[in-house]
Structure 1
Amino acid sequence: MKVYDVPVVFFDLDDSLINKDANSLWIRWRFRRDRWAMVEGVQALLSLYRAYKKGRVTHTRLSNYYRTRTRGMTLADYQSSVERFFNERGQLHIYPQAASLLFAYQRQGTRIVMITGADEVVAEAYGRELGIGDVISNRLDVAETQIKGLQKPLCYGIGKVDMARRFLSGSGYGLDQAAFYSDSHADLPLLEQVGFPVVLNPTQILADVARERSWPVLDWRETVS
């Protein structure tokens, strides 16, 4: 695995550092514990996953999903549930190659940033496990301990570009000096802006784009039985 001599490297989470998407793992885990997870799963399947695959996730749609996902939970309840989920299920899906690549960047002094559409509680759990201190993610909208949805803007599509730029603001570095690893064509806006785009475990659409543009491709799925 090539390690780029860059001051900052961004990593997507779902299907990139982990071999599934965190929302699917969460729903499967919840099925065993709460009947409401059936409602959550149906909503996610019908209104969220299809939109995600088409690159059409909206703030309204994702916020509605999160209201369903956290029904009856305070923020503290959700944080506790995510901790149990991560310990029992979530951490098992981290690619072993991810630790090696992250260590190589850490050793050369590159600042590592996770930038993901997962919510901040889930994203930070993975960040702690992977030793990634900087996490950019979707942020929960909380009022008096109750989760109302997600804040704007979304960490998705073009929103990731804006958030990455804000993160670098004042650092003296630009996106043209950064690398970004992602699996999804929804991340094309940011892949197109960084100086070192790397396609990781790509969707077919993104694999086709990478071939046309001669972007490097890593596929860790080939080593997973």
Structure 2
Amino acid sequence: MAFARPFYRDGLLNRRDVVASGYTQAVYKLAGAGDEQMARIRDQLATMSRGWPVDQVRRIVAGAIDELIAPYVYAEALVLIEQHRAAGRDIVLVSSSGEEMVRPIARLVGADDVIATRMAIRDGRFTGEVDFYAAGESKAEAVRELATRNGYDLATCYAYSDSVSDVPLLSTVGYPTVVNADRGLRRVARERQWPLLAFRNPVPTPLTRIRYVLSRPPGGSLVPMAAIVTAGAAVTAAIWYARRRRPTARIEPAPQRPGA
């Protein structure tokens, strides 16, 4: 939904597509995203994107990211990214959205790598087929493969998510945390005693103020962060922090002020 307007303006979406995407997003927000719902999102994404020129999609995303994505990035998220980076951890943005959308967002927030859905491409256009769908167990398997390649110890890694579809991913690491979670994930988090966090402070715009945000945590407090909200119909975003080399202590939340 974040990119529906520029995609419609550039002729990639018609009115029916926009309505269908809005309905899917509403169901996702209200009911969460189990396996069946994620499969429907995958199929809808593949059908809508069939025939789209890849270069046009990349151009639209690049031109709209400051306006349509930046306002959904939480200040708490950026602060914790900086904390993990200072501790020597790699940062990986993991999302079921298409790679063409996810990589610019990763650059926006300073992530080192990306795991995202890959659509099949032929002659510079999407074919309507999905080469890899980064959701559910497939997302967790991709993280395990990345950990093997890069020598990460998953028992010392952190994962953050907002969706019940990411339970396999969260279960893969030693330090799972849920943020702004859907109903299903809140239930699992309570059962497994995973930390539950809520973020409420979007980054001030324009993006030139991000450096200020990183140096001045909102409210004077620093808390572990979670998903970067991209507001897309097919998004199940998670940030994954991997410790590469030296042992480092887990970042614990600072004491909260009453009412914060």
TM-score, L = length of structure 1: 0.77
Structure 1 spans left out of the alignment, 5+ residues: 1-23
Deviation at 1:207, TM superposition (A): 1.3
What is the deviation of 1:39? 2.1
Equivalent in the alignment of 1:25: 2
- Deviation of 1:89 after TM superposition, in Å, equals 1.5
Residues 29, 89 of structure 1: 8 Å contact kept? no
Instruction: Specify whether residues 72 and 108 from structure 1 end up closer, same or farther in structure 2 by C-alpha distance, changes over 3 A only.
Output: same
Task: Say whether 1:40 aligns with 2:14.
Answer: no
Q: Which residue of 2 aligns with 1:21?
A: none
Q: Which amino acid aligns with 2:45?
A: Y
Amino acid at match of 1:113: V
Q: Kindly tell me: are residues 49 and 117 of structure 1, through their superposed partners in 2, closer, same or farther at Cα, counting changes over 3 Å? A: farther
Q: 1:62 aligns with which of 42, 46, 54?
A: 42
| 1:133 maps to amino acid | D
1:157 maps to which residue?
136
Q: Note closer, same or farther for the CA distance 1:122–1:188 as it changes in structure 2 (3 Å cut).
A: same
Root-mean-square deviation over aligned CA pairs:
2.5
Aligned-pair identity in percent equals 25
Q: Matched residues in 2 for 1:36 and 1:154: separation?
A: 21
| Cα distance in structure 1, aligned partners of 2:108 and 2:54 | 21
Answer whether contact 1:200 1:217 (CA < 8 A) is retained. Answer: yes
Q: Is the 8 A contact 1:48 1:61 kept in 2?
A: no
Counterpart of 2:237 in structure 1 is none
Give the residue type in structure 1 aligned to 2:34: K
Secondary structure of 1:73's counterpart equals: coil
Q: Could you tell me whether the CA contact under 8 Å between 1:75 and 1:145 is conserved in 2?
A: yes
Amino acid at match of 1:65: L
Note the 1:65-214 alignment, pairs <5 A. Answer: 65-68=45-48, 70=49, 73-214=52-193
SS of corresponding position for 1:53: coil
Deviation at 1:190, TM superposition (A): 1.2
Aligned residue identity for 2:76:
Q
Residues 115 and 135 in structure 1, CA contact (< 8 A), matched pair in contact too: yes
Structure with larger Rg: 2
Q: TM-score of the superposition, structure 2-length normalised?
A: 0.68
Tell me if structure 1 keeps the 8 A contact 2:53–2:126: yes
Runs of at least 5 residues in structure 2 that lack an aligned partner in the other structure: 203-260
Q: Partners of 1:178 and 1:79 in 2: how far apart?
A: 31
Cα distance change, pair 219–64 in 1 and its aligned pair in 2 (3 A): closer
CA gap of 1:214–1:177, structure 2 versus 1, over 3 A, is same
User: Structure 2: how far apart are the matches of 1:96 and 1:214?
Assistant: 25
Q: Deviations over 1:163-214 (max 9, x none)?
A: 0011111333343221100000010111112111101111122112212221
Aligned to 1:17: none
Q: Whole-Å Cα distance in 2 between the matches of residues 96 and 47 of structure 1?
A: 27
Q: In the TM superposition, what whole-angstrom CA distance separates every residue of 1:152-171 from its partner, at most 9, and x where no partner exists?
A: 33100001111001111133
CA distance in 1: counterparts of 2:132 and 2:193, whole angstroms: 31
Report the AA paired with residue 135 of structure 1: V
The one-character-per-residue Cα deviations of 1:8-65 (angstroms, maximum 9, x if unpaired) are xxxxxxxxxxxxxxxx21124545665934222233355676476233222x862442
Distance 1:30 1:155, change over 3 A: same
Partners of 1:183 and 1:61 in 2: CA distance:
17
Deviation readout 1:107-149 (Å, 9 max, x if unpaired): 1110111111111111011111111120110012100101113
Distance, in Å, in 2 between the alignment partners of 1:191 and 1:49 is: 24
